A = this chain, B = another copy of it.
Amino acid sequence: MTNPIQYAIESRVSTNHFQPGRTLDDGIIASLVAQASRAPSAYNMQNWRFIAVRSADAKARLRSLAYDQQKVEDASVAFIVCGTLAAHAQLAAALQPSVDAGILEQHMVDGWVAQASAAHERDPVLQRDEAIRSASLAAMTLMLAAQGMTLGSCAMVGFDAPGVSRAFDLDAAEIPVVIVTVGYPASGNWPQKPRKPLPEILNIV
């Protein structure tokens, strides 16, 4: 009865304990990020970027900016999922491949860019909302992609965001939205924690 997607969603846990010393090669990292980038974003803005923190040096730096959490070091990779502010400014470039592929016509793209620019240009709250929204959609896709590859993952928001931006050379128009650690689960992880009863979170109207 349970389809494979439902099974992945229901069996995913926040992996706090990873097997240290296990690595992921470039191909696996590329596949995870390619899948994450298949998430939707407003106007297909793709206002995100991924920094795969894999080396011992880089992990140590990130760990010290993330309340010294051991999993940053024990996971094979810690992905810093960044959201892009002022995403309208790069929308035309982001949509060019859709024009080249014959999916969107140039006049539509011009219209979308004008519309997005009008909405975003002078609205820093919307820019931030959009950066967090898109990066989070991509982060969830990344976690389920990991699940599909029988890897464990954990979303972390407990880190020094300005410190991470400085230490990992984020652009002034980027914010680190969430860190996703990925690797091989060790023993001792919690089961998935119970959720609120459905009547508390669902209304059908």
Question: B-contacting residues of A (Cβ < 8 Å)?
Answer: 3-6, 8-10, 12, 14, 26, 29-31, 33-35, 37-40, 42, 44, 46, 48-55, 58, 94-95, 97-98, 100-101, 103-104, 128-130, 132-133, 136-137, 139-141, 143-145, 147-149, 154-155, 157-158, 168, 177-178, 190-196, 198, 201-205
Contacts and interface: CB of A to CB of B under 8 A. Distances in A.
B136 A33 contact: no
A3 B78 CA distance: 23
A103 B9 CA distance: 19
A136 B144 contact: no
Contacts of A168: 205
Contacts of A155: 40, 137
20 contacts: A4-B4, A4-B148, A5-B144, A5-B147, A6-B35, A6-B145, A6-B148, A9-B144, A10-B35, A12-B38, A39-B140, A42-B157, A46-B195, A50-B202, A100-B194, A101-B194, A103-B194, A129-B132, A137-B155, A168-B205
B195 A51 contact: no
Contacts of A178: 133
Nearest to A58: B205
Nearest to A138: B140
B143 A157 contact: no
B133 A177 contact: yes
Given A3-B148, A128-B129, 5 more contacts: A5-B148, A6-B148, A9-B38, A52-B202, A130-B157
Contact of A38 (B132, B191, B195): B195
Nearest to A84: B201
Nearest to A46: B196
Given A136-B136, A177-B133, A143 B9 contact: no
A51 B202 CA distance: 6
A63 to B, nearest CB: 14
Q: Which one of A37, A53, A143 has the greatest number of beta carbons of chain B within 10 Å? A: A37
